[in-house]
Amino acid sequence: MARREFKLEVLEAFTGGLNLRSDQFNLADNESPDLLNVLVDPRGGIRMRDGVDRLNTTALSADIKGIWGFHTDTGTNQVMVNYGTDVAYATTGNFTALTGITSRTAGSRVYGMTMNNVAYGVSGDKVAFRWNGSAAADLGLTLDGSAGNFPQAQYVAFWNNFAWAASTVESGTNYKYRVRWSNANDPERWAAADYVDIDKGEHGDYITGILPMGDRLLIFKSNSVYAIFGFDSDSFQVVTLTNSVGSTPLSSPVHSPFGVFFWSAEEGVYLYNGQQFIWLFSKLSPALDDARIRTTNPPQLAWGNNKLYVSVDWVENAVTTRRVFIYDPTISADGSWIMTDIDVGPMLAYRPPNAAATVYGGCVANTGILVDVEDDQNRTSDRYVGSTEVHIVSHFVTRWVTGKNPIVKKRWGRPRVVLSAEATITLPILIYKDFDKSEQTNSFNLSVVGKVSQSRWDTAKWDDADPVSAYLAEWDAISADLTANVQNLPTLGTGRSVSMKVSGPSSDNHWEVNALAFTYTPRRLR
């Protein structure tokens, strides 16, 4: 009887990222049903994320509620935050509280903008204030065109040479549907008649954010989005963009080269590209449906380093933590999501002129700490407070591998893994079978020796005599000291399908997986 040949199924691209939505065996070849703290390489591999590091060594006395950047033409570059009842600034490290302004209500959020080299802050609960980099002062509330005034408001923005304030408080009344604009080129003079009430907040649909976008100022409500067009008080007009979706209060829509991203209370992330509203949360929506993602605390968004960062409350095993989902719109046809356990709430894409951009976030579990979410120090652990290093727990789970047939049983051979690490490490491997992940059927410890791989495809040809080894031999190293490891696992036994979970080491070391190859022999269907 003729010997039955092994067949081969290779996973060599993981650019689809996380997909919680698809049925068990309906994921695309490049998607994962479960991953944590791994980044998707545009070339196809996955690797452990870098660690985060704190900005301030001295913690603030309360949680950071708001964060924005202050940049001037004269070279001032500061991170501004509000916490407790105070507002503070930092240039490179620890924060200094502003003096000379009214204390905020504890727990309120300050939104800021810069105009004419002056920072302006509003929080809705107290009078607005100004900060020029060296001195701060409260502003008045007079709306008669006189100098030194600014409306009490929840949201603020600079657009088209005007300062804009939304959800204003006037003579003790909160106009949650009102938008005001200043005199042209003068953010401290406001006329009483220069405002527009947008649909007057029927059904509780009040303003939840404002954001400039090119030739328009976007006005977000809970269930709708509007735009203001025009050049001055005589030409400003309001246009309804949609009445079917809106932004969650205090969730901070953000601008990007692709358009404006924002969080919808029941559906997650949307993109408005100037023409249409596009839902981007399809792959992650089951986590909203089953309440793993909670919105009691408003989700927070930031755009930086060509990626979208979304911070949400995450519930697992009845424990609520903060997680950051990262969306890369440039990878795969519909973009790629990954999940991290980075512990931040409000975030800021900090972009000083002529300097590298980074993403800052205010810790939730670590009071008064601001961390660099996109750390550029190639850290292998997180550092939120003091000198304490926090181990990064990471893993990646493959889709179900079925040999293109989920019905027929197979005898699974020895999987091959193309991987690398920066030091000698041990990676725990779990194998699941037959669409059942309630318990693993095989477990191995995979030893890896070497440095971080810079692998590429070589020009070697396939060898029919040994297709597995020949296929993996297509991987070669760019240089002698940067090598990719091809590791063999034991045979996996019999089953209709298999799935592999690769976890990071117990040590603080980076790891990377470039490809996985599964061999199998189909059993006869009886």
**For every one of its 526 residues, what pLDDT tens digit does the chain have, with 9 covering 90 and above?**
445 678 999 998 899 999 998 877 789 989 999 999 999 988 889 999 999 999 999 999 999 999 999 999 999 999 999 999 999 999 988 999 999 999 999 999 999 999 999 999 999 999 999 999 999 999 999 999 999 999 999 999 999 999 999 999 999 999 999 999 999 999 999 999 999 999 887 666 899 999 999 999 999 999 999 999 999 999 999 999 999 999 999 999 999 999 999 999 889 999 999 999 999 999 999 999 999 999 989 999 999 989 999 999 999 999 999 999 999 999 877 899 999 999 999 999 999 888 878 999 999 999 999 999 986 668 999 999 988 899 999 999 999 999 989 899 999 999 999 988 888 889 999 999 999 988 778 888 888 876 544 444 343 333 344 545 554 444 443 333 335 688 899 999 999 999 999 999 999 999 999 999 999 999 876 6
Q: Has residue 489 been placed in a domain?
A: yes
The pTM of the whole model exceeds 0.85? yes
Residue 431 forms part of a structural domain: yes
Residue 287's φ and ψ, nearest 5 degrees, are -70, -25
Which value, in Å, is the radius of gyration of the alpha carbons in the chain? 27
Q: How far is CA 212 from CA 56, 147, 301, 378, 379, in A?
A: 30, 25, 16, 34, 35
Specify if 305 maps to a domain: no
Residue 226 CA to residue 206 CA, distance in Å, equals 12
Domain for residue 470, yes or no?
yes
Calpha distance 18→376 (Å, rounded): 24
Note whether residue 438 is domain-resident.
Answer: yes
Q: Are 32 and 396 in contact (CB under 8 A)?
A: yes
Instruction: For residue 355, tell me if it sits in a domain.
Output: no
Long-range contacts of 324-328 (CB under 8 A, 24+ apart): 324/361, 324/373, 325/284, 326/39, 327/269, 327/280, 328/17, 328/40
* Among 96, 127, 102, 109, CA closest to 63: 109
Rounded distance between C-alpha atoms, residue 157 and residue 321, angstroms: 31
Residues in the chain: 526
The range of the structural domain enclosing residue 449 comes to 7-48+394-522
Q: Which residue has the tokens 């022999």?
A: 521
CATH number at residue 31: 2.60.120.260
3-state SS track over 345-413: EEEEEECCCCCCCEEEEEECCCCCCEEECCCCCCCCEEECCCCCCEECCCEEECCCECCCCCCCCEEEC
Q: Which residue has the tokens 């060509």?
A: 306
* Residue 377: predicted pLDDT: 64
**Residue 413 falls inside a structural domain:** yes
| pLDDT value of residue 228 | 98
According to the model, what pLDDT value does residue 138 have? 98
> Does 406 map to a domain?
yes
What's the structural domain count of the chain? 1
Do the bridges between strand 293-294 and strand 277-279 make them parallel or antiparallel, or are there none, so unpaired?
A: unpaired
What pLDDT score was predicted for residue 316? Answer: 93
Structure tokens at 159: 């657009």
